[in-house]
Chains A and B, each alone.
Chain A
């Protein structure tokens, strides 16, 4: 079974630009969660999608948004990039969500210059 696939693996963007990251969950998994990982703040929850609906949202500004498609693939968008948005963005997939096994992708390393 293929794992969680995140694309692209690396991105360099300029302040003020916007970026879209993609996550393909494990086949059959309906829940996709997104996390931001930085050395200073650790792993922080951004949001979760389940069956194309945002089920939960973390404490991030509205510049961070996402969506999920009918095939469970998810995208995350960050608009008006700031230097502080530089981080490893991880997505995790699980069958049902709600405290079940969650499997992470390799992440997208975003650098904002």
Chain B
């Protein structure tokens, strides 16, 4: 059972456009929601993270929007660049299970020049 559902599976965006990746969860015990970026042959790199007490967090061109009542959160990449082409994973964890993250299935983003 996939605890965190991620969509879309793949995404193609023009350079300068906005990339949007969505995740949904059921477990209301989740209280930490990070996003990771992974390039081929590399490990996932922490991009940005949010907790349920805020509805939005922005770091540079990356923004997380969080809807606690809908149990959904999304990553927005503004002014997408070819260098952003990578696989993005959303994740979630609870305060009771240490650093056990439940990952989404990933979104392969391609930014076309």
Whether chains A and B associate is yes
**Partner-B contacts on A (CB < 8 A):** 4, 6, 31, 33, 35, 42-45, 48, 50, 55-56, 58, 90, 92, 94, 97-107
Further contacts, 7 of them, CB under 8 A, given A42-B103, A43-B44, A98-B95 = A56-B99, A90-B43, A94-B99, A99-B31, A102-B101, A104-B36, A104-B46
With A43-B89, A107-B43 already in contact, the answer to whether A102 and B98 are too (CB < 8 A) is no
Smallest distance from the beta carbon of A36 to chain B beta carbons, Å?
A: 11
Question: How far apart are the CA atoms of A107 and B44 in the complex, in Å?
Answer: 9
Tell me whether A33 and B43 are in contact (CB under 8 A). no
List, in ascending order, chain A residues with CB within 8 A of B45's CB: 103-104
Chain B residues with a Cβ closer than 8 Å to the other chain, count: 26
Smallest distance from the beta carbon of B1 to chain A beta carbons, Å?
A: 11
B97 touches A (CB below 8 Å): yes
With A42-B103, A43-B103 already in contact, the answer to whether A103 and B98 are too (CB < 8 A) is no
Tell me whether A102 and B43 are in contact (CB under 8 A). no
Tell me whether A55 and B98 are in contact (CB under 8 A). yes
Tell me whether A48 and B98 are in contact (CB under 8 A). yes
Tell me which of B44, B46, B91, B102 has the highest count of chain A C-beta atoms within 10 A of its own C-beta: B44
List, in ascending order, chain A residues with CB within 8 A of B103's CB: 42-44
A102's nearest neighbour on chain B, judged by CB, is B99
Tell me whether B99 and A33 are in contact (CB under 8 A). yes
List, in ascending order, chain A residues with CB within 8 A of B41's CB: 106
Which of A4, A31, A44 interacts with B98 by CB under 8 Å?
A: A31
26 residue pairs of the A-B complex, CB under 8 angstroms, read: A6-B43, A43-B103, A44-B103, A45-B102, A48-B99, A50-B98, A55-B98, A56-B98, A56-B100, A90-B44, A92-B99, A94-B99, A98-B93, A98-B98, A99-B31, A99-B32, A99-B99, A100-B32, A100-B99, A101-B49, A102-B99, A102-B101, A103-B45, A103-B46, A104-B36, A104-B43
Question: How far apart are the CA atoms of A31 and B36 in the complex, in Å?
Answer: 18
The 8 A-B residue pairs whose C-beta atoms are closest, nearest first, are: A99-B32, A104-B43, A43-B103, A97-B99, A97-B98, A99-B93, A55-B98, A56-B98
